[in-house]
Structure 1
């Protein structure tokens, strides 16, 4: 969960993937018609279904009648009570029970973006309803947390007391103190990201639930105005968050990020003007970035700006949008290892590697942006010019696919890092609720440190499978140790899984098209 909570390194042995000969032949043939050859065949439909199931495991509040994750029950039902506000609901971000506003909002933004880009693919897969439910669980909470135009509740609970205990969320005895930002205690980054999440979600619900969409947009506009008028970093106002989700990148990226999403949601020139006028002074066209995360939004912003450049109505702003695009290209080329200078490191097994703590978050966001950028190039019939050569949309999508396939098991450990997918996945995920007997099976109270005594140190697999969780993943040498106390590698976060939803929907579409080709082609049909 947290970027620098503790520092431990773990080692393990490396296995070798086995690729059947017939699979090699099939993948070679498939590559003639679609993206580059695959090493193994993966069930993207199953991975997509499971990734959306994960968000139900992370729900806080009163669970709905259609809750599919049955080992969870109601929790956090008095959140906000001490402060006289209803803060019941939302998501636990990872393996503990603090509700952190910034990563929660980024999770919702990424889920929304995935639906905006791949709505039809999600509908065909039968997962659109589950995806919109995952978004609404977050946005319902944001509506509650935004109690007045210039007040946003930023956090419920605090990491220090929470980490002292190992309990199920249903048994929580830790502090549920709530913290807010307001005019005197600004948090432009948090307000900006929450505005982005609500604006993006308003696009998702625009046709299916117009009243709700309008309500989200109203909150998004107020939050953006609040964040822009009263500027400051939220971790300066909410000190308890500094050890967990400090805003290292500052707030300028979130304000630009909110502006671009509000522009997409409203088509109002004032938001486009903000994006253009502040492009330089807020770092939008100055920062060349090699990560996209809950903290650093520049690469995502630059990719969306690149897409705006393709529309004829934006030609008068082409000079600035071209500069945004240039920085987006830098990010894409760095992932492909084709920059002259800074590239994202790759493990020997081919995984993007940004840093040792919860590296998979950077892999899933990169796979998402690469997929989006591949679509941009394909739709505009363009190619990407990196220092290391000219790249087509297929090569970019193929690389994004390689990252997803690594996650699903095409790696030196033969391990699926998406929990519950495949036959070999982490069974000792660093997660309180999953590691303790289900409340629905045993309603007996488990005390604060009792969980450490009986469950945290247990050598047995977790009694509950945290299906769809994307864990932190392997180290820079592709090594992974499946141990509950190895939190750098075995803890999962909502913002790890959120970007996977859109990419898996896209890959599933390609897989279906390939099957159609197989059916229609005498060459492929003969194998």
Structure 2
């Protein structure tokens, strides 16, 4: 998902520079690999729907070809017939198509199904999908847990790795590799960008433990508890090893910069293409989530009896020591010397977890401080401010994490006034997301976002779009955003249960928000213009292999679809357009995508 240094990725950096030059010379960016608009299609989730969940398909027909009804079959039996709803004209991703919506949410029957649409010219049939209770957990949880286990870094060389610019060596063994194409290990990515920093391996540890706390009976029933707990402990042991004696975490373990250096404890500044000794992880650079993960590991170890190299007690001791250190030194470690929204929501999660377990007042006080800052970043329109300069918060990976942080904070807060202020923030954010999605024609109900492009330190006017702008503070990062979609599903459900609740609705939330939450997962599972199921090993059409993307594992999720290559604002659409050395942008599996799908699956199942 993000650039990390490795010899196999050197060509990527060169390619990025070439793309930037080409982009600068292109006055009218066009979709570089648009979907086939000349062909009629039924776009649908290729995997499954929960019995109670919203169920929709998008029907695309060439202009001039029409249809009015759809039929749902179970085997050869008709079980439902419905009217197609015509969608407003949508041309952002290409001309020549009219879209219809087929809603079959009323079907509660279990089994295998497919949809048929008849036009005057042809008959269309969808791929087969499943409807069953707890569908995503039942069908994908085992593969998902196995993906994390298969992504472990087990090379014994990491038992003795040199710290950059020193002759000191550390045991930093364990953890998970960042992606299918390299063996780097990161608590966070894009730290030099300041505003695009995304959580990585610590988030995975926290997410697995959080998932177990909400779905323990299902994990027990599936005989997955031991395997899942072992992965959490594997992650926690790694976090203990990368915790320095004076209280900070080392951000990254990276492949070396030359043939004489296999591995380094260092950081990497993608903006300047250089290894650095700025390896202390601030709250936003993985430190906050590492603290939260250690607390969760302490809890799951005590509950399940699973223990790694270090004890549950040690994990909690580590978390408290690291939190005390970052409370004092965080501003020193952030790259630009200024805290921003990412520090707020990651520190809030850390403080919330520590108070939840220890009940120490100092952690409640710290959580209230961060929640106050986060609440004050919410505008009256409904978008968060990232910093002190009115930059809107937008994120290609962790977009839902601010809301999830506030939702978790509400579980420890008893002050009515503070709770109401936090609920107001959550409601404004979710309402704004729903409004954004309906401001333009949006047949796939794909999550849109508010952003300002950044070029040479200058920001554009505020605008909205479907994908991350390619001109942003990283200077080079833009890739598929499947993690972002899944994070927003989790945020919509957990936040919606507080502010948009409906005890009779899908996921316990109102219909509009439930449709939004389901639509992001549908996009991942194949209801997208390229009909690709991004969850490898599931559906009927998985991402292609690419040498630049490395290993493809069942349960892994590819980065996904992006805006057109030559569009600075991320307008248009493209997917795996090639050549092979560039396809990592879309095809490569990253830890963050499966991590966020795990949390979305948990929210949808809970």
Same fold (TM over 0.5): yes
Structure 1 residue 410: Cα displacement: 2.5
Separation in 2 of the partners of 1:231 and 1:134? 29
Deviation at 1:368, TM superposition (A): 1.6
Displacement, 1:334? 3.3
Change (3 A) 1:401 1:294: closer
Q: Cα deviations across residues 497-518 of structure 1 (Å, max 9, x unaligned)? A: 1122243356567xxxxxxxxx
How far residue 141 of structure 1 moved from its aligned partner, in angstroms, is 0.4
Moved more, 149-158 or 392-401: 392-401
Which residue of the other structure, out of 35, 42, 48, is the alignment partner of 1:17? 42
8 A contact 2:487–2:600 mirrored in 1: no
- What secondary structure, in the 3-state scheme, does the structure 2 residue paired with 1:358 have? coil
- Checking the alignment, whether the CA contact within 8 Å between 1:232 and 1:251 is kept in structure 2 is no
Give, in angstroms, the shift of residue 426 of structure 1.
Answer: 0.8
Deviation at 1:122, TM superposition (A): 2.9
1:466 maps to 2:562? no
C-alpha change, 1:83 and 1:26, in structure 2 (3 Å) is farther
Matched, 1:256 2:344: no
Q: Secondary structure at the match of 2:554?
A: coil
Task: Classify the secondary structure of the residue corresponding to 2:250.
Answer: strand
Correspondent of 2:296 among 177, 195, 200: 200
Deviation, structure 1 residue 173? 7.3
| Cross-structure match for 1:399 | 516
Normalized per residue, the structure richer in helix is 1
Does residue 366 (structure 1) correspond to residue 488 (structure 2)? The answer is yes
- Summarize the Cα distance change of 1:109–1:173 in structure 2 as closer, same or farther, 3 Å threshold: farther
Aligned with residue 88 of structure 1, among 173, 184, 191? 173
Q: Which moved more, 1:414-423 or 1:197-206?
A: 197-206
- Structure 2 vs 1, CA of residues 283 and 467 (structure 1 numbering), >3 Å: closer, same or farther? same
**Could you tell me which residue of structure 2 aligns to residue 283 of structure 1?**
374
Aligned to 2:402: 298
The DSSP-based 3-state class of the residue aligned with 2:561 is coil
Please tell me whether residue 226 in structure 1 is matched to residue 248 in structure 2.
Answer: no
8 A contact 2:243–2:249 mirrored in 1: yes
Name the structure with the higher strand share.
2
Pairing 1:90-489 to 2, within 5 Å after superposition: 90-94=175-179, 95-102=181-188, 103-157=200-254, 161=257, 175-179=262-266, 187-189=282-284, 190-209=286-305, 212-232=311-331, 234=333, 236=335, 249=341, 251-280=343-372, 282-287=373-378, 288-289=383-384, 293-294=397-398, 297-308=401-412, 314=414, 317-335=415-433, 337-338=434-435, 348-352=443-447, 353-355=466-468, 357-376=479-498, 392-393=509-510, 395-429=512-546, 433-434=550-551, 465-476=552-563, 479-481=574-576, 483=578, 484=580, 485-489=582-586
Report the CA distance shift for 1:124/1:405 in structure 2 as closer, same or farther (over 3 A): farther
Instruction: Determine the structure 1 residue equivalent to 2:2.
Output: 2
**Partner of residue 168, structure 1:** none
Could you say which residue in structure 1 is the equivalent of 2:148? 55
**1:371 Cα deviation (Å)?**
2.7
Whole-Å Cα distance in 2 between the matches of residues 375 and 132 of structure 1? 27
Gapped regions of structure 2 (runs ≥ 5) = 5-12, 20-30, 45-70, 82-102, 116-127, 189-199, 268-275, 385-392, 448-465, 469-477, 564-571
Take 1:320 and 1:21, find their aligned partners in 2: how far apart are those partners? 48
Three-state SS of the structure 2 residue aligned to 1:17 is strand
Secondary structure, in 3 states, of the residue corresponding to 1:415? Answer: coil
- TM-score, scaled relative to structure 1: 0.70
TM-score relative to the length of structure 2:
0.61
SS, match of residue 303 in structure 2: coil
* Deviation by residue 1:90-139 (Cα, 9 ceiling, x = unmatched): 11112322211222212222222222222223333343333223322211
Is the contact between residue 483 and residue 592 of structure 2 (CA under 8 Å) also seen in structure 1? yes
Q: Residue 29 of structure 1: CA displacement?
A: 7.3
Secondary structure of the residue aligned to 2:331 is coil
Change (3 A) 1:421 1:183: closer
Stretch moving more, 466-475 or 76-85: 76-85
Residues 120 and 377 (structure 1 numbering): CA distance in 2 closer, same or farther, change over 3 Å?
Answer: farther
Cα deviation for residue 227 of structure 1 reads 0.6
Cα distance in 2 between the residues matched to 1:345 and 1:79: 52
Aligned to 1:439: none
8 Å CA contact 1:151, 1:182 repeated in 2: no
Distance 1:146 1:294, change over 3 A: farther
Kindly indicate whether the alpha-carbon contact (under 8 Å) linking 1:83 and 1:178 is maintained by their aligned counterparts in 2.
no
Deviation readout 1:225-250 (Å, 9 max, x if unpaired): 11101122645399xxxxxxx99745
Unaligned runs of 5+ in 1: 63-73, 163-171, 239-245, 384-390, 435-464, 510-527
2:23 aligned residue: none
Question: 3-state SS of the aligned residue for 1:152?
Answer: coil
Contact kept, 8 Å, 1:89 with 1:137, in 2: the verdict is yes
Mapped to 2, the partners of 1:502 and 1:221 lie a distance apart of 25
